[in-house]
A = this chain, B = another copy of it.
Amino acid sequence: MNQDAPTNRTQVARLPKRGDYSEATIYSILDAGFLCHVGFVVDGQPFVIPTGYGRLGNTFYLHGSAASRMLRTLAMGVEVCVTVTLLDGLVLARSAFHHSMNYRSVVLFGTATLVESSEEKTTALRAISEQIVPGRWDDVRWPTEQELKATKVLALPISEASAKVRTGPPLDDEEDYSLKVWAGVLPFHVQTGVPLPDPRLPVDVDDVPGYLLDYGKRPI
Contact = CB atoms under 8 A, between A and B. Distances in A.
Contacts of A40: 46
A64 B13 CA distance: 13
Contacts of A194: 187
A115 interface: no
Interface stretch (A21-29, A53-61, A175-183): A175-183
Interface residues of A, number: 95
Contacts of A2: none
Interface in A130-151: 132-133, 136-137, 139-144, 147, 150-151
Contacts of A202: 178, 180
B177 A200 contact: yes
Interface string A174-213: 0011111111111111111111111111101111110010
A113 interface: no
Contact of A186 (B186, B193, B204): B193
Contacts of A219: none
B198 A192 contact: no
B68 A14 contact: yes
Contacts of A215: 186
A197 B182 contact: yes
A169 interface: yes
Contacts of A176: 141
A145 to B, nearest CB: 12
Interface string A69-108: 1000000000111110101011011111101010101010
A205 to B, nearest CB: 5
A4 B80 CA distance: 30
Interface of A: 9, 13-14, 35, 37-41, 44-50, 52, 64-65, 67-69, 79-83, 85, 87, 89-90, 92-97, 99, 101, 103, 105, 107, 109, 125, 129, 132-133, 136-137, 139-144, 147, 150-151, 169-170, 176-202, 204-209, 212, 215
